[in-house]
Structure 1
Amino acid sequence: MFSGVTGIINRGQKLKGTVVLMQKNVLDINELTAVKSPTGIIGGAFGAIGGAIGSVVDTATSFLGRSVAFKLISATTADGSGKGKVGKQTFLEGLLTSIPTLGDKQSAYRIHFEWDNDMGIPGAFYVENFMQHEFFLVSLTLEDIPNHGSITFVCNSWVYNDNKYKSHRIFFANKTYLPSQTPSPLVYYRQEELKTLRGDGTGERKEWERIYDYDVYNDLGEPDKKATLARPVLGGSSTLPYPRRGRTGRKPAKKDPKSESRSDFVYLPRDESFGHAKSSDFLIYILKSATQNIIPNLRSVVTLQLNQPEFNTFEDVRSLYDGGIKLPTNVLSEISPIPLFKEIFRTDGESALKFSPPKVVEVDHSAWMTDEEFAREMIAGVNPHIIKKLSEFPPKSKLDSQLYGNNTSTITKEHLEPNMGGVTVEQAIQNNLLYILDHHDTIFPYLRKINATETKAYATRTVLFLQNNGTLKPLAIELSKPHPQGDSNGPVSDVYLPASEGVEGSIWLLAKAFVVVNDSCFHQLVSHWLNTHAVVEPFIIATNRHLSVVHPIHKLLLPHYRDTMNINSLARNVLVNAEGIIESTFLWGGYALEMSAVVYKDWVFTEQGLPNDLLKRGVAVEDATSPHGIRLLIEDYPYASDGLEIWAAIKSWVEEYVNFYYKSDDAIAQDSELQAFWKELVEVGHGDLKNATWWFKMQTRKELIEACTILIWIASALHAAVNFGQYPYGGYILNRPTKSRRYMPEKGSPEYDELAKNYQKVYLRTITPKNDTLTDLTIIEVLSRHASDEQYLGQRIEGDLWTSDSKPVEAFKKFGSKLAEIEQKLIQRNKDESLRNRYGPVKMPYTLLYPSSEEGLTFRGIPNSVSI
C-alpha cells in the first residue's frame, strides 16, 4: 500500500500532526475503589472526588514542555538492518481548542515532526512519557503528507513513565495487513510488539504492564484465611476442566501451594481496565462497593435492627418496590451521595429504601404464578436456551449407573396423557409436541453435599406439551433426591401434576419453585458465567498474544473483547469467589464453580452458534426453504426467532469482511499469526478440551467465518439474552428464587397442614430468604444495567477510523443499518397478538435482542462485548 512513495517528501519537510489524549484524572476508578474513610468505602470515595475536583491541574499546562516525546517510524524506508527508519524525537506543543470532534475530557495538542525526503511514509511511532503519571493516548493524526494525504494512528491506550517499560511504546497506523503483506520495514516492529505482549511467563505482574498470559482458576479460595475457604483448582485436569483466565503471577498460598494467594490488587493488562471516568468502569466500581459496603449494611439492618429476617407474605416482597425498607439515617448516608444507587434503590425521604419494580410484576402482580408464564420463560425468559425436544420416553440419564444407579425418569404416560387433549405420548413425540426442561444430571451428583447444608433441593425434570395456540403447557414435574442408603441405589423420585386450587395447587406452586431454583443456578453459573464470561477470556488472551493490532482479525474481534477481562477479574474477587455473592445466595453454594467445571466437560465451541444449538436441542430442524436454513418446531420461540435474525446479520458481516482480506483458503493456512492464535487458543486457552475432534482445523475461509461469527454471537447477543433480563425477571424473587431451604411437605405432616393454612408463608420459608434476596436484588440490578458509554453491536469506539480500507468500513455501516432494520422488524413482531409467547400473562414483551438501548435498566440492547 505504501509502495512507490519513497522520497516523495521534500527534504526538511515539517509534518504537522495532532495528538489527542486524556490525562490521568480525578475519576480514576481503580484508585477510588481503594479509598477508605471512617464512613466507609463509598462515603470516602465520593469525598475524595469532591476534594480532588477542587484541585484539578490545568490539562494544558501539565503537558507543555518536554514531557511527552514522539518518534515516527517509516513504513517504506529501512535502515541498514532492514527495520524502518526512526525519525528525530519531537515533543508536544500548544493546546488546540477548536477541534469539534474531541470527546469528554480529551485534549488536543499540536506537534511537528522533522521528516526528511529519504524517510518515506510513516507507518508507526514511538511515544515516551517522562512524567510521573500515566496518560491515555487516544490518537495521532498526521496531515497533508505530500502525495499521500493524512495518516491516522488510533491508539486508545495508557502510556506510563518510560522507565516502566523494557521497550518503547509503539503504535501503528490504522492500516490493515495480513502478516505476509506487512511492509518489510515494519515486520520487525510488528513481531517485537507481539513478543512484548506475550511476556516471558514469569514474575508477578505489575499495574503498568501489558502482558497477556494464561492461568488456571486457582484464585477463588483463601485457604490461608480459613480451611472452609479452600476451593479446588479449576482447569488443568480432566476432572475439573476449565477455560483459562489471565495470569497475575501472585504468590502461592501457604497452606495450598496449588492455589494463588489473593490481594486487593488484581492485575489486568492495563488497557483492559480503562479506569478513566468511564461509565462501565463506574458500574464495576459500584458493584464492588455494593458487595463490600452496602450489602453488609443492609444485612445488619434487616437482621439486627429491624428483627425481620423473613418475608411473611407476598405483599412483604412487593413492599420492597412500593413501601420500601425503613433504614437508619447512618445507612442511608452511605447511599444518598451516589446518583446511581439513588436511581437503583429509589431512596425517598430520609428513611425509606425502595428497589425499582421489576418488569415481570409491573402490569400484574400474580401472573408469574400461572403455568403459561412458568413455561413461557423457558423460551422467552432469562435462560431461554436450555429446553429440549423430548425424543425418547421415559427421559433417560447420562449419569454413570455404577455410581448413581438407575436415573431413568419415573414419569409415566399415565401422568401425562390426561392433560394432552386426547394425544398419546407416542403421537406427541412423533409430531414434536413434547419438550423437557431437564435439570437432573447436573445437580444430582452434588445433591447429597448440597442438602447437607442449610439448603434442601431436588434434581428436577419438567415435561411440557406444545399446544395448538403455540404456547407450552407443563404436564408434570419430577423431583428426585438421593437414596438414603447411598447414591448407587438411584434416586428417590416423586412426580407432581398441575393443580390450581387448594393444597394441591400450593404443592404444584412449590414444585415449580424447585424447578426454577435449579434453572436460576444453572443460568447464573453456566449459561451466564461459564458460557459467556469465562469461555471468551482465552480468546482475548490468544488474540493479543498472536494477532497484531494491524491484523484484520484482531480489528474484527477487538470491539467484542471490551471490558471482559475487567469484569471477570472483579467477579473472581467478589462474585464467584469462596463465600462470595454467588456462593452465599445461590443453591449450589460452595460447589458453584466446581459444578460449572463439570458442565464444561461437555462444552462444544461449534455448538455455541445459534443454529447449531437449536438443532442440537431438537427445537429446530434443517430446512433449505426457510430463511435461515432451519425451521423452528416451536414457531413462536422469541429468543430463537429474534436470535436467528441477529445471527444472520453477524454472519453476513463477518463473511464480507473475511473474504475481503482472504482471497483463498490457502491464505488462511499461510497466515502465520492466525495459525499461532488458533493453535494456542485450542491447546492452551481451552487446553483441557484440546483433544476434542470438533475444533475447527482453521484451514478454510468457511471455518474462520464460522469461528468468528460464533465468538461474536457469544460475546454480544448470547450474553445480552442471558444478562439484561436478570432484574426484569429475577428482581421479583418469587418468580426466580435462587435457593430452596425445605423439602416438599408430605401429606399428613405438620408442614403439609401448615401449607394448607398459609401457603404464602410456607413458600417464602422454602425459597430465598430475605437477606439473600436483598443481596441478589442489589447485585442483579447493577448487572442488568447499560453504561452511558456502552458500545452496541454495529458500533465502534473508533468511529470510521478503525481501518483505512474503505470496503470493510462500508460493509460495517451496512451491518449497522441491517441491525436497525432488524430492530424495527422485532418491534413489529411484538405487536402481533397471535404470538402469545412474546408477551405472556405478565404482559412483558420480549425485547432482550433489540440491538440498541439507552443507558440504564432497559431490558433491551446488545452490547458488543461481555462488558458487565
Structure 2
Amino acid sequence: MVNYEVTVYTTNCALATTINNVYIKLVGSEGESNRSWLWGFKGSLALFKGDVAHFTVSCRKSLGTLFLIELDKQHFLLFQDSWYPSKVEVRSPEGDTYCFPVHRWITDREVHLFREGKAVIAFEETHPLAKDAREQELIGRKKDYCWEELKEGLPHCIKGKSPLSLPPEVRFSYTKDIEFVWTAATGEIELYVKGLEKRDEPWTDIDAFDRVFRCKMTETSEYVEEQWQEDEFFAYQYLNGVNPIMIRCCKVLPENFPVTNDMVFLHGHGSLTEEIERGNIFLCDYKRLDGVTANTINGKKQYLMAPLVLFHKRQGKLMPIAIQLKQTPADDNPIFFPTDSAYDWMMAKMFVRSADFQEHELNVHLLRTHLLAEVFAVSLLRNVPMVHPLYKLLVPHTRYTLQINILARLALISEKGVFTEFAASGGEAMFTILKRSLSSMTYKSLCIQDDVDERGVRDMPNYYYKDDGLRLWNVILTFVKEVLSYYYKTDDVVVKDSELQDWIQDIFEHGFLSQEQTGIPQKFSTVAELIKFVTMVIFTCSCQHSAVNSGQYDYGAWMPNTPISLQRPPPTTKGTKDHIMMQTLPDISTTVKGMSTLWLLSKESSDFVPLGQYPEQYFTEGFPRKLIKRFQRELLQLSVDIKIRNEPLSLPYTYLDPASFENSVAI
C-alpha cells in the first residue's frame, strides 16, 4: 500500500463551510484510487471556512503522474449545504506535490472533476481521461452559459432573467450581495423620508437643490459645484471626467458646423484656420444622438440635442470656443460663443453636458465596458476550460460581471428601469443610440494606444486619463506578453489551439455581430495578435471601466453640471431669460432618482479586488507566478507615481490609480 497526503483548503468567505460528507478520487497516468471519504478528527468541522484540512488516501500502488481529481459531496442527515473549496493539494509517495485549483461552489451531489494546475493547451493532452474531462467540462459549461439576444443590433448577453439563474461560482459573494442591496435601499429610503421621489415640479432655485446635494458629497463633487460654470472646467471634463475618449483633433471643420475665422476670438493665437493647421483645435461631435426621440418623463416631453463643440488648446489649457446644439445649421440653430451673454453661454454648455451624459452612459460606459466585458466572459466560460492558460489569465477579470449586468438589465434599462424612466435617452432612443454606437465601434478605439493616435490627442497636456492609461496599457501588455509567450512559443501553436479560436470567433459573432468593419479579429494567426487582444480585454474590464465608472457620482451629483434630462427645448435665439434655466433642468423627482442611482453605481464593496491582485490561485507553475509578482510591483510603482503627480493638483485624477479600481466590471 502507498499513501497520498491530501490537503483541502476551504475559502475564507461567508457560508463556505460544509458539514456534508466529501469524497475524493485521485486519477493519474498509471491508474486511479478508490473513491475515498475525507474523514478527519475534526469531524464536521474539518472543512470549515478558512480552514486547511489534512487527510490520507491509501492506494495499492502508485498512480504515476496525477492530473485529475474527482470531488463529490453527499448530504449529512438529509441536509445538503454549499461548500467553496479553493484548492486541493496532493503529496505523492514519491514526494511530488500536485495542486488542483477549484475556486467554485459545490452545492449538489454530482461528481465534479478538477485538473492539476499546470496549464495545458488542448492538442497537448495525451491521456484519454484528461481529454475526456476537458470535453465534458466544456459540454457542461455550454449548458450553464447560454447566449441570448437582448435586442436586435446589440451584443448578445448571458441567458438568465435573474442572478439566481446564474451558476453559483459567478454570482456575488454573500458580502457583496448584502452591501449592494443595503446601498440601494438606503438611497431609496432617504428619498422617501425626504418626500422627494414623487415630486415632479421644477426646482424653485439653485439653493433648493443645493440643500439636497449636501446630504452626500465627495471632495470632487464639491469642487464640481464650485467650478461647473467655468469654461476651463467645462473643457477639463473632456480630458479627465467620466467621458475622456470623445474629444479629437479637428483637422477640417465639419460642413455642418459653419464657424468662420471672424466668429471666434483666439486671444492673439492667430486665426481659426491657422490654429487648425497647427493642430490646436479640437472637436466633440454628438452625431450619434441626432434624430432620436427624446423621452417623456412624468408625463412631460423632454429634450435631447446632438451638439458640436469646438475647443482651442492654448497655454497648456483647453478652452471651449463655439457650440452648435443641433446638427443641421439653420436660423433657429445659432452658434454660441464665450463672448455671448453669460446666460446664453451657460445654457448652451448645459445642453452639451446633458448630451454628454447620454453618450457617456450608453456608449462609453454601458456598451464599451459592461456589455463587452460580458461578451468576453461568456465566451471564455463557454469555450475555454480551467486548465487552459487563457482561462487562468482572464477569469479574475470576469468576477461578478454577469450578475452586475443582469441587475443593470433589471433595474436600469428594463421597461420600468431608472434609465428608461428618468433619462432623456430612455426608451427606444436608448436602443437606437446603442445600435449606432456598436455599428461605429472599431477595434482601434478599444486599444488606448491606437485610440489616442487616431483622435490626435497624444500630445495633449494635462490629459491624465491618457497619461495613466498609456502606462497601464504598457504594464498590462508586458505582463500578458510574458505569460502567453511562455505557453505559445510559435505562431503555429496559436493557430492549432482550437479552444482559443472558438473563443475569438464567439466574441466576433456574438459581441460584434460578425461586423467586419469593426476590425475585431475573427481568428488569431500570430502570438502578437493574441497578446494585443488579451491586453485589450484586461484593460477594458479593469482600467477603462474604472475611468468611465468611478467618477459618475463625483461629476453627476451636482445636477446642473450633468443633467440626466432637460425639460425645455434649446434656445433658438440668443437672449435667454434668467428664469429659464430652472425650468429647463430636470424636475425634483428625476434629479434625486438620478443622484441615488449614480451613488449606487459608484459605491465599491468591501470585497473589492484591485487590479493585479489574484486571491484565487489559478496559475500553479513557478514562472507565471513570478510574472504575477513582477506585474504587481509595476502596478504598485505606477500607483505611487500617480499619487505623487496628484499632490499639487487642485483636482487629483485618481480613476486610473491601479490601487483604487477592480480587476473586473464588478459594479
Q: Flag whether TM exceeds 0.5 (same fold).
A: yes
- The AA in structure 2 aligned to 1:320 is V
Q: Does residue 1:413 correspond to 2:261, yes or no?
A: yes
Structure 1 residues 754-833: aligned runs within 5 Å:
755-756=577-578, 758=579, 762-798=580-616, 801-831=617-647
Q: Does residue 1:68 correspond to 2:22, yes or no?
A: yes
Name which of 6, 10, 13 aligns with 2:3: 13
Aligned to 1:835: none
Structure 1 residues 109-124: aligned runs within 5 Å:
109-124=53-68
- The AA in structure 2 aligned to 1:216 is E
Name which of 531, 538, 541 aligns with 2:368: 531
Matches of 1:474 and 1:17, distance apart in 2: 64
Aligned to 1:497: 337
Change (3 A) 1:189 1:457: closer
Structure 1 residues 543-692: aligned runs within 5 Å:
543-590=380-427, 591-619=429-457, 632-689=458-515
Q: Does residue 1:242 correspond to 2:154, yes or no?
A: yes
C-alpha displacement of 1:97: 12
C-alpha displacement of 1:120: 2.0
Name the SS of the counterpart of 1:320 in structure 2.
helix
C-alpha displacement of 1:674: 1.0
Structure 1 residues 315-334: aligned runs within 5 Å:
315-322=207-214
Change (3 A) 1:744 1:282: same
Structure 1 residues 87-166: aligned runs within 5 Å:
87-95=34-42, 105-131=49-75, 132-162=79-109
C-alpha displacement of 1:531: 0.3
C-alpha displacement of 1:476: 0.8
Name the SS of the counterpart of 1:493 in structure 2.
coil
Q: Does residue 1:714 correspond to 2:609, yes or no?
A: no
8 Å contact kept, 1:14–1:114: yes
Q: Does residue 1:862 correspond to 2:656, yes or no?
A: no
The percentage of aligned residue pairs carrying the same residue is 23
Aligned to 2:321: 475
8 Å contact kept, 1:382–1:729: yes
Name which of 637, 652, 659 aligns with 1:845: 652
Matches of 2:664 and 2:80, distance apart in 1: 29
C-alpha displacement of 1:195: 1.2
- The AA in structure 2 aligned to 1:461 is L
What TM-score results when the alignment is normalised by the length of structure 2? 0.92
What TM-score results when the alignment is normalised by the length of structure 1? 0.71
Structure 1 residues 425-504: aligned runs within 5 Å:
425-439=272-286, 441-447=287-293, 454-467=301-314, 469-480=315-326, 493-499=333-339, 504=341
Name the SS of the counterpart of 2:320 in structure 1.
strand
8 Å contact kept, 2:308–2:327: no
8 Å contact kept, 1:377–1:384: yes
Higher relative contact order (CA 8 A, sep 6+): 2
Q: Once the two structures are superposed, what CA deviation does each residue of 1:212-244 show, in whole Å capped at 9, x if it has no partner? A: 111110xxxxxxxxxxxxxxxx23xxxxx2111
Superposition CA RMSD, Å: 2.9
8 Å contact kept, 1:526–1:599: yes
Aligned to 2:148: 215
Between the two proteins, the alignment pairs up a number of residues equal to 661
Matches of 2:327 and 2:423, distance apart in 1: 18
- The AA in structure 2 aligned to 1:493 is N
8 Å contact kept, 1:724–1:784: yes
8 Å contact kept, 2:145–2:159: yes
8 Å contact kept, 1:683–1:690: no
Matches of 1:363 and 1:178, distance apart in 2: 52
8 Å contact kept, 1:476–1:495: yes
Name which of 167, 171, 182 aligns with 1:286: 182
C-alpha displacement of 1:850: 0.9
C-alpha displacement of 1:387: 0.6
8 Å contact kept, 2:86–2:104: no
Matches of 1:275 and 1:816, distance apart in 2: 24
Structure 2 portions without partners, runs of 5+:
none
Name the SS of the counterpart of 1:362 in structure 2.
helix
Name the SS of the counterpart of 1:136 in structure 2.
coil
Change (3 A) 1:303 1:265: closer
Matches of 2:508 and 2:197, distance apart in 1: 49
- The AA in structure 1 aligned to 2:171 is S
Structure 1 portions without partners, runs of 5+:
1-10, 29-58, 79-84, 200-210, 218-233, 236-240, 249-262, 323-353, 397-407, 484-489, 620-631, 833-838, 853-860
Point out the more displaced range, 784-793 or 641-650.
Answer: 784-793
8 Å contact kept, 1:12–1:116: yes
Name the SS of the counterpart of 1:142 in structure 2.
strand
Name the SS of the counterpart of 1:445 in structure 2.
coil
Matches of 1:427 and 1:862, distance apart in 2: 42
Q: Once the two structures are superposed, what CA deviation does each residue of 1:420-452 show, in whole Å capped at 9, x if it has no partner? A: 42411221111110001111x211121577799
Name the SS of the counterpart of 1:391 in structure 2.
coil
Aligned to 1:55: none
Name which of 262, 271, 284 aligns with 2:169: 271
- The AA in structure 2 aligned to 1:864 is N
Q: Once the two structures are superposed, what CA deviation does each residue of 1:253-283 show, in whole Å capped at 9, x if it has no partner? A: xxxxxxxxxx66652232110443x33x334
Change (3 A) 1:865 1:616: same
Q: Does residue 1:374 correspond to 2:234, yes or no?
A: yes
Matches of 1:24 and 1:819, distance apart in 2: 29
Aligned to 1:302: 196
Matches of 2:552 and 2:624, distance apart in 1: 35
Name the SS of the counterpart of 2:7 in structure 1.
strand
C-alpha displacement of 1:457: 2.9
Name the SS of the counterpart of 2:119 in structure 1.
coil
- The AA in structure 2 aligned to 1:695 is P
Q: Once the two structures are superposed, what CA deviation does each residue of 1:669-704 show, in whole Å capped at 9, x if it has no partner? A: 111211222222223343342575552630100000
Matches of 2:101 and 2:162, distance apart in 1: 32
Matches of 2:318 and 2:611, distance apart in 1: 32
C-alpha displacement of 1:492: 5.1
